[in-house]
Amino acid sequence: MAALILLAVVTILNFIITHILPGDPVTALVGQFPAPPAYVALVRHDYGLDQPLYVQLWLYLGNLLHGNLGYSFGSQRPVLPLILQHAQATLLLMVPALTVASIVGVWLGGAAARRVGSWYDNVLSAISIGSYSTPIFWLAQVLIIVFAINWHVLPAQGMYTVGSDYTGFDTVSDYLLHLALPGSALAFFNIALVARVARASMYEALHQDYTQLALAKGLRPAYVFWRHVLPNALIPIVTIIGFNFGSALTGAVLTETVFGWPGIGSLFVASIVKRDYPVLEGIFLLTSFAVLLVNLITDLTYGFIDPRVARTYQGRS
């Protein structure tokens, strides 16, 4: 239900942006030079822009359902394939970064939960607050200055070495070398976020009666952690990862800009420079759908993590 409302909000927002805000596509298509009014009217008619707004909404929804997001002003190519083509690189940046961030974040947060108030806990909180205040694109630049320019240990730009003819394992290691800096920049923010939530939820689980009982029974602490603490602390952690996917995407867009990573972010910035509105709108629409999908998946994982959630749903239907 929440997903349906989100879908409606996204579609309506995008319709408002494309059809009601200024930035008339006709001006962009016809160009700056004076065109005969008859020609402008013809273009408007061709694009259905002379129709009443509700007819335009209907046409727009029809186009969406056919996967027709319009054509790029710049390259005259259909927008959807253009964006999907760049999505692969973005996923190659985001998926490893978020996976590593989730694991490291849970680990750091769990360690802090066991010694709340210690210097370790305080340092982690300070870093977490600091990460909220750091512009990701600046951290990315600093990483380039330190690791690529001063120390020459990692490449500064792109996703692979230009002009290389690597095959097999060499391709993978080349990609991993290029991933190191942008991946770390993106991971840093998500580690801080996950660690903060993991600390709180594991602290709570650690102080539940069942955990205390398990420890009192003499079970090994490691076993108690995996069997009792982590599963019970996992739902808030999964929630924050899913909830935060939209900002992670934003982070990826900005990181790509700095590193010249050939993904959706680079396409977005190039399209801002060219004022290529259909591509920009398509990117917002598709990233929103991705967020929607991730939130749906997050909701579904609750059932796996906590069987009680699955049972409530079955009880309802």
Partner 1 sequence: MVSRVDWRIILRQPAGAVSATVIAILLLLAIFGPVLVPGNPDHISGDFLQPPFGHFGLGTDNLGRSVGLELFYGLRISLLVGLLAAASATLLGAGVGAIAGYFGKSVDGVVMRISESFQVLPTFILAALIVALIGAGLDRVIAVIALLAWPQTARLMRAQVLRVKQLEFVDAARCMGVGEWRIMLGEVIPNAFAPILATATLTIGDAILIEAGLSFLGLSDPTVVSWGRMLSTGQRYLFESPWLSIFPGLAIFATVLVFTVLGDVLNKVLNPRSA
List of residues contacting partner 1 (CB under 8 A) = 2, 5-6, 9-10, 13, 17, 21-23, 129-130, 132-135, 137-138, 141-142, 144-145, 149, 156, 243, 245-247, 249-250, 253-254, 257-258, 268-269, 272-273, 275, 277, 280-281, 283-284, 287-288, 291, 295
Residue 270 in 3-state DSSP?
helix
3-state secondary structure of 78: strand
Tokens describing residue 31: 């160009």
DSSP 146: I
To 5 degrees, how large is the angle CA 53–CA 55–CA 57?
70
Q: For partner 1, which is the closer residue by CB, 21 or 38?
A: 21
In the Cβ-directed half-sphere of 25, how many Cα atoms lie within 13 Å?
Answer: 23
- Token pair listed for 106: 């849970």
Q: Between residues 100 and 148, which has the closer beta carbon with respect to partner 1?
A: 148
Comparing CB distances to partner 1, the nearer of 225 and 259 is: 259
Q: Residue 196 CB, nearest distance to partner 1 (Å)? A: 11
Nearer to partner 1 by Cβ, of 92 and 156: the residue is: 156
CB of 202 to partner 1, least distance (A): 17
- With tokens 């205390």, the residue in question is 212
CB of 168 to partner 1, least distance (A): 32
Nearer to partner 1, 214 or 265 (CB): 265
Residue 271 CB, shortest distance to partner 1, in Å, is 8
How many C-beta atoms lie closer than 10 Å to residue 300's C-beta? 12
Number of H helices and E strands in the chain, helices first, is 15, 0
| Minimum separation from the CB atom of position 226 to partner 1 (A) | 29
> Is-contact 277 23, C-beta < 8 A?
yes
- Under 8 Å between Cβ of 28 and 73: yes
CA distance 126 to 118: 12
CB of 144 to partner 1, least distance (A): 6
Nearer to partner 1, 205 or 283 (CB): 283
Residue 71 pairs in a beta bridge with 78
Q: How far is the CB of 24 from partner 1 (least distance, A)?
A: 10
Choose between 43 and 269: whose C-beta lies nearer to partner 1.
Answer: 269
Tokens 């090994």 locate to 220
Supply the minimum distance, in Å, between the C-beta of residue 284 and partner 1. Answer: 5
Rounded Cα distance, 241 and 102, in Å: 8
Q: What tokens appear for 200 in the block?
A: 């709180």
Residue 32, φ and ψ in degrees, nearest 5: -80, -30
Q: Between residues 122 and 212, which has the closer beta carbon with respect to partner 1?
A: 122
